[in-house]
Every structure is written in structure tokens, then in C-alpha cells.
């Protein structure tokens, strides 16, 4: 779990304070919605 948390950042000034994948502007919620919609992990990035 610690490894995953190192990949997520929180910046109140960016993306309305939503957690994002480090080094991108992709929100964690966008990733989860895509996966829930049937997208495979290899197609995310």
C-alpha cells in the first residue's frame, strides 16, 4: 500500500484539490472511473 501512496499526490491548488497520479494531471477518480467502465490498466497511460 505504501508504494501506491507514493504515486499519489495532493495539492490543494491543483485539480481542485483532488488526488492525482504523481507527475500527471490525471486524477485518481478518473483512473477509477475508467477501470470501472471496462478499460484495462495497460490502456490507461
Instruction: Note the pLDDT of residue 38.
Output: 96
Residue 3 reports pLDDT greater than 90: no
Residue 23 backbone class (left: φ over 0; alpha: ψ -120 to 50; beta: rest):
left
Residue 4 reports pLDDT greater than 80: no
> Which residues have CB under 8 Å from 6's CB, separation 6+?
22
Residue 1 reports pLDDT greater than 70: no
Share of the chain above pLDDT 90, in %: 76
Instruction: Note the pLDDT of residue 44.
Output: 81
| Residue range 6-45, pLDDT digits in tens | 999 999 998 999 999 999 999 999 999 999 999 999 998 7
Amino acid at each position: 500500500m505504501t508504494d501506491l501512496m507514493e504515486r499519489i499526490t495532493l495539492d490543494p491548488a491543483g485539480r481542485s484539490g483532488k488526488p492525482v497520479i504523481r507527475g500527471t494531471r490525471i486524477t485518481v477518480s478518473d483512473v477509477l472511473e475508467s477501470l470501472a467502465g471496462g478499460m484495462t490498466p495497460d490502456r490507461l497511460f
